[in-house]
Structure 1
Amino acid sequence: MAMSSPENVITDYKSLPPLPIGQPELILMLQPGLEHVLSSSQQLISSKEDLTNIHGVLDRHGASMALLFGTTEERLRQPQLAAHGKRAFPATYAYEEDLSTFYRVHAKADSLETIAAELRKDPQVRAAYVKPGGSPPVILAEKLLVKKEAVAPSTTPNFVERQGYLNHAPERDRLHQDLLEYDGGLIAGTATTNEDFVNHGTAVTGILGGDVNAYGVTGICPRATIFTSSFWDQSTSTAIKAAADRLGPRDIILLEIHRSGPRATGNGQEGYIPIEWWPDDFAAIKYATSKGITVVEAAGNGGENLDDPIYDARPSYFPADWTNPFNPANPSSDAILVGAGAPPPGTHGVDYGPDRSRLWYSNYGARVDAQGWGYEVTTTGYGWLQGGPSADLWYTDGFSGTSSASPIVTGALACVQGILKDFDRRPLSPTESRSILRKTGSSQQDGYWGPVAQRIGNRPNIREMLQAALNR
């Protein structure tokens, strides 16, 4: 049966406002086994090969380089899991990528592609590529762009009844009044005052861990301690590894970022894809999952079919042994990819189609594991539902995108891991988490923007997930 889209929903990327986007990055990967070090004078020294050609390229362009994942090559070459004690899942989680071969080249943005092309001519260079800047995968609908100017009431109302995503299944503001109890702080990177990024982080945190009280919102897993690792001023892969170095089995990393892929049009977020497609991000994610840390990754708002053959085509600037991580037949990062589904019809008076159907902007494909609400999410930040002069009192009920969907799935997983801990049970491994999300939950439905065959997965059901986890 044919369906038409609701008239009050933005479905054209041209009508979407621009989002803050990070700077492009030039990533250099050296061949393994060079036994190289970067000296204090920024000179690469190898006991096996002559690396002067690389320095010549950098010198001609006034460029410099730094290790992407650590302070010294020696520390990175140590067995990368030994420092974390006994492995939680030794039979499954081996990590073999040499992180000491990854560097970030610093130069003027307009010279990065030229430098990368020259570096690729050197036989000691495994890959050199310019990675587009990333941005939060949020759909900035009209209600997120207009703040209520009225003075906030003396007591914030209780908005829990508007948090339908809590119902039974069928960079942030650190001083926000509803996010004070379990703030773990910033563990890597630099906090930003950019309002879009701050609101985005505040909204994500409210979904996950809004405090339990008589006002505002309540998080899905309010007793979880939430740390942040900012990608505002550092590479996304650096931010991921820095977080992983502080965490262990039972912990979860949520990646709230996507970037323009090979089919990006420059038209808003059209063609944006999950960040694991880039080798350094894949390596960082795999490093985390190899430690038994569950990684939840936004599938992105590009409206892309991740099964499209274009993603199997290796870019010439990637390593020769690169394979498409979206193809289930290839090695996996073991991250959980989250798509965006429609909330129940009538939520906040709007109908986006059948409950749990794919929304128009959500990426989809066999690699996508689960879905969450992609519109009408009530949470902290933005100030549309409650505004006023103080951002610490702002709330919205229009948070959206795979940005809103991903913390919903993360919150469900955090609840299950917490209960397993309380019962002194082994935590879910990343692979087990993916499997349980795929086998349980409320099924995806056909919708306005595509059939079930355009897979975004099931919406989590914590009760079913817990039963499956306890029955392992």
Structure 2
Amino acid sequence: MNPNTRDAEAVRGKPELVMVAKSDVELRARPDGLTSAANADLSPLSDVLDDEGATIEPLFGTTEERLRADVEAVASESDMDVPDLSLYYTVDADEDRMEAVAKRLNELDAVEAAYVKPPAEPAEAVGEAEVEALNDMTPAIESPPVNTPDFTPRQGYLDSAPDGIDARYAWQFPGGRGQGVDVIDLEWGWNFSHEDHQNNQGGVVGGSNSPYDNHGTAVIGEIGGDQNGLGVTGIASEANVSAVAFSMATARAIRLAANRLHRGDIMLLEIHRPGPRNNFQQRGDQDGYIAIEWWPDDWAAIRYAVAKGVIVVEAAGNGDENLDDAIYDNRPSWFPSDWSNPFRRGDRDSGAIVVGAGAPPSGTHGNDWGPDRSRLGFSNYGSILDAQGWGREVTTTGYGDLQGGSNKNEWYTDQFSGTSSASPIVVGALACVQGILRRDSQAQLSPLRARELLRSTGTPQQDAPGRPSSQRIGNRPDLRELIPNALQTSDWTGVQFRGTVPANSTRRWFTWGWPAQWHVLWTVVPTSPDPGGPQISWNVEVERATHENITYWISITNKTGSSVDVEARYAVLGET
């Protein structure tokens, strides 16, 4: 018997029935019943729930009032729109009645949408294009040596580009091992008692740990394995790594993690779901599985986290899917009416960094998975993908095929794979950069700035037979290139925001989190042509929001009788 045979219920969620209330109903769900702050008639909703033996509660925990207050607080400090999390509810109903209950709920005036989400799973199996399954390693029965060897020479992903991400270059900088950066991994189970997980490990801080812990253990080893001369060394071994378990609704877990993190910290989503390609059906090979932000409540939770300034790294999934396919544009009739395909980004951009799985250098551990950095056949791909990591041959903690025995605290693997193994490599690289910036008293990378740098730096994707680089999974991070770009301030220029000012009116914007030591010049220009005279004027006011950060308040006056579109441009001249 393979000791790693998994209990399906232990490593995936259950179907989730989510209801979205209409905002004008102002629904309040309490243990003693439903009320409406707008005095709407909720008897039809109560009748359906009573008839089905179902109950509802706010999906994101706590009360609707507290959720709205949280959203308003985040929105006040962000230039992103933040979804109203108080409108989402989880419906507790019999699993075999969920679809029928959703159909009945969608017929009610008080309900904007109700839908059933298929169970989520770790991104660890393969599509039909691959010959072998992923992460089904069998622990070696031989007892390990008295002292675990140093396996870092087998961690090729630490090496210089193009083979790896050049983690050792980052380690030369103060903070370059992720010092002071908090990272939360979201999935199902972890072994925080492992001999290589003794430092800077916060354990499970939300949800219930699963006994199936090899997958999470391997992820933690890549990011935060101890620097101790034995086993593996994590890319960001001085980052503070903890975990939140998907023993609750996935969107709730994401919000819980977001509220434990601060601006510049990192959240990793090691999860995907069956998508419309396979009619949302679970499969052993995970063909057709997709990134979870396609579902409205998960998207809302991710957007909330990103608006808080948390970098969200999301596994693209192992479904062998083109996420640019038009099938993902089709709004399911049970989704909210304002839903649009987040894989197109634009106005529906969650702000997450989406990671695909690339081949490691040929010959790694004696295997050849195709040209280095080419898309592995199971990896999802498309324009939404921002970066790639090794999707095969990752040496890390857990599983026990490299070093096994009877004590799982001494287990290591040479074969961790999937977008699951790729995503922690990107997390580790970003944690190194954020640690350097913190030690250098510079502003943390914002989620969108981090994404921009991953796209504009790194080692490019390569073609493979049948898998051209046009099937985008992005570049492999290269810290030797990424760090100088992140540190660069002397010639930064760009557009901070765009907006519209009505005729003969003044509108005010604010932009915050600018390092106090930077010298920033602001210019506002009209983008709507209207020759004949000045169209706008502006002034800039300054707030020392904290000791480290400046907020700029920019008031723009339209001097004409027609509305005018404007953009505010900045130039960072240098720093004190």
Decide whether the 8 Å contact of 1:359 with 1:449 is kept in 2: no
Decide whether the 8 Å contact of 1:42 with 1:65 is kept in 2: no
Matched, 1:442 2:429: no
Decide whether the 8 Å contact of 1:81 with 1:291 is kept in 2: no
Match of 1:112 in 2: 98
User: What displacement does 1:433 show?
Assistant: 0.7
Distance of 2:371 and 2:261 partners within structure 1: 38
Q: What is the aligned counterpart of 2:485 among 464, 468, 471?
A: 468
Match of 2:56 in 1: 65
Distance of 1:130 and 1:448 partners within structure 2: 38
Q: What is the aligned counterpart of 2:42 among 51, 70, 94?
A: 51
Alignment deviations for residues 253-283 of structure 1 (CA, whole Å, 9 cap, x no partner):
0000000000126442000000000000000
* Structure 1 counterpart of 2:330, one-letter code: A
User: What displacement does 1:442 show?
Assistant: 0.3
Distance of 2:416 and 2:325 partners within structure 1: 29
* Structure 2 counterpart of 1:255, one-letter code: L
Distance of 1:208 and 1:101 partners within structure 2: 35
Match of 1:411 in 2: 428
Distance of 1:391 and 1:385 partners within structure 2: 12
User: What displacement does 1:142 show?
Assistant: 6.9
Give the direction of change, closer, same or farther, for the CA distance of 1:310–1:31 in structure 2 (3 Å limit): same
Give the direction of change, closer, same or farther, for the CA distance of 1:314–1:380 in structure 2 (3 Å limit): same
Query: What RMSD in Å do the two structures reach over aligned CA positions?
Result: 1.8
Match of 1:177 in 2: 195
Match of 1:239 in 2: 253
Matched, 1:253 2:267: yes
Distance of 2:466 and 2:33 partners within structure 1: 52
Alignment deviations for residues 280-314 of structure 1 (CA, whole Å, 9 cap, x no partner):
00000000000000000000000000000000010
Distance of 1:99 and 1:143 partners within structure 2: 36
Distance of 1:82 and 1:298 partners within structure 2: 28
Q: What is the aligned counterpart of 2:218 among 203, 210, 215?
A: 203
Match of 1:28 in 2: 19
Matched, 1:186 2:204: yes
Matched, 1:385 2:399: no
Within 5 Å, which residues of 2 pair with 1:51-130?
51-80=42-71, 82=73, 87=77, 90=78, 92-95=79-82, 97-130=83-116
Distance of 2:466 and 2:97 partners within structure 1: 41
Percent identity over the alignment is 51
Distance of 2:44 and 2:25 partners within structure 1: 15
User: What displacement does 1:79 show?
Assistant: 4.8
User: What displacement does 1:182 show?
Assistant: 0.8
Give the direction of change, closer, same or farther, for the CA distance of 1:79–1:234 in structure 2 (3 Å limit): closer
Match of 1:399 in 2: 416
Decide whether the 8 Å contact of 2:25 with 2:36 is kept in 1: no
Distance of 2:484 and 2:466 partners within structure 1: 33
Alignment deviations for residues 217-266 of structure 1 (CA, whole Å, 9 cap, x no partner):
000000000121110x2011000000001111110000000000001264
User: What displacement does 1:449 show?
Assistant: 4.2
Matched, 1:334 2:351: yes
SS of the aligned residue for 1:348 comes to helix
Give the direction of change, closer, same or farther, for the CA distance of 1:79–1:245 in structure 2 (3 Å limit): closer
Distance of 2:412 and 2:403 partners within structure 1: 5
User: What displacement does 1:83 show?
Assistant: 7.2
SS of the aligned residue for 2:323 comes to coil
| TM-score of the aligned structures, taking structure 1 as reference length | 0.92
Decide whether the 8 Å contact of 2:394 with 2:417 is kept in 1: yes
* Structure 1 counterpart of 2:193, one-letter code: L
Q: Which has the larger radius of gyration?
A: 2
Q: What is the aligned counterpart of 2:231 among 212, 216, 228?
A: 216
Decide whether the 8 Å contact of 1:93 with 1:291 is kept in 2: no
SS of the aligned residue for 2:157 comes to helix
Distance of 1:391 and 1:448 partners within structure 2: 39
* Structure 1 counterpart of 2:142, one-letter code: A
Distance of 1:163 and 1:458 partners within structure 2: 19
Decide whether the 8 Å contact of 2:27 with 2:34 is kept in 1: no
Match of 1:158 in 2: 150
Decide whether the 8 Å contact of 1:144 with 1:399 is kept in 2: no
Distance of 2:460 and 2:381 partners within structure 1: 15
Q: What is the aligned counterpart of 1:420 among 437, 449, 456?
A: 437
Give the direction of change, closer, same or farther, for the CA distance of 1:75–1:369 in structure 2 (3 Å limit): same
Distance of 1:432 and 1:56 partners within structure 2: 49
* Structure 2 counterpart of 1:259, one-letter code: R
Instruction: Give the gaps of 5 or more residues in structure 2.
Output: 127-132, 163-188, 490-576
Range that drifts further, 100-109 or 294-303:
100-109
* Structure 2 counterpart of 1:345, one-letter code: S
SS of the aligned residue for 1:134 comes to coil
Within 5 Å, which residues of 2 pair with 1:283-362?
283-362=300-379
How many equivalent pairs are there? 448
Distance of 1:394 and 1:273 partners within structure 2: 30
Distance of 1:442 and 1:70 partners within structure 2: 42
Distance of 1:160 and 1:204 partners within structure 2: 16
User: What displacement does 1:139 show?
Assistant: 3.4
User: What displacement does 1:206 show?
Assistant: 0.1
Decide whether the 8 Å contact of 2:356 with 2:474 is kept in 1: yes
**More contact order relative to length (CA 8 Å, sep ≥ 6):** 1
* Structure in which a larger fraction of residues adopt strand: 2
Match of 2:542 in 1: none
Decide whether the 8 Å contact of 2:201 with 2:242 is kept in 1: yes
Decide whether the 8 Å contact of 1:134 with 1:259 is kept in 2: yes
Distance of 2:93 and 2:214 partners within structure 1: 30
Distance of 2:345 and 2:26 partners within structure 1: 34
Distance of 1:102 and 1:142 partners within structure 2: 35
Decide whether the 8 Å contact of 2:371 with 2:463 is kept in 1: yes
